[in-house]
A = this chain, B = another copy of it.
Amino acid sequence: MGRWEPNARGRLERAALELYLERGFDQTTVAQIAARAGLTERTFFRHFADKREVLFAGAVGLQEFLVRTLASTPDSAAPIDAVAAAFEAAGALLQERRDYAWQRQAVIAANAELQERELIKLAALASAMTDTLRQRGVTDPAASLAAEAGIAVFKIAFERWAGGTSQADLPQVIRESLDELKAVTAGK
Contact = CB atoms under 8 A, between A and B. Distances in A.
Given A80-B184, A140-B165, 13 more contacts: A78-B184, A81-B187, A116-B116, A116-B119, A119-B120, A141-B180, A142-B183, A145-B153, A145-B180, A145-B184, A148-B156, A149-B181, A185-B186
A144 interface: yes
Interface in A122-150: 123, 140-142, 144-146, 148-149
Given A116-B116, A119-B120, A153-B145, A182 B180 contact: no
A145 to B, nearest CB: 5
B155 A78 contact: no
Contacts of A116: 116, 119-120
A9 interface: no
Interface of A: 78-81, 115-116, 119-120, 123, 140-142, 144-146, 148-149, 151-153, 155-156, 160, 165, 177, 180-188
6 contacts: A78-B184, A119-B120, A119-B123, A145-B153, A148-B152, A182-B186
Contact of A177 (B145, B156, B177): B145
Interface residues of A, dominant DSSP: helix
Given A119-B119, A120-B119, A156 B185 contact: no
* Top 8 closest pairs, chain A to chain B, by CB: A148-B152, A78-B187, A185-B185, A119-B119, A145-B181, A146-B184, A145-B184, A182-B185
A59 to B, nearest CB: 15
Contacts of A187: 78, 80-81
Contact of A156 (B141, B180, B188): B141
Contact of A155 (B148, B153, B182): B148
A152 B145 contact: yes
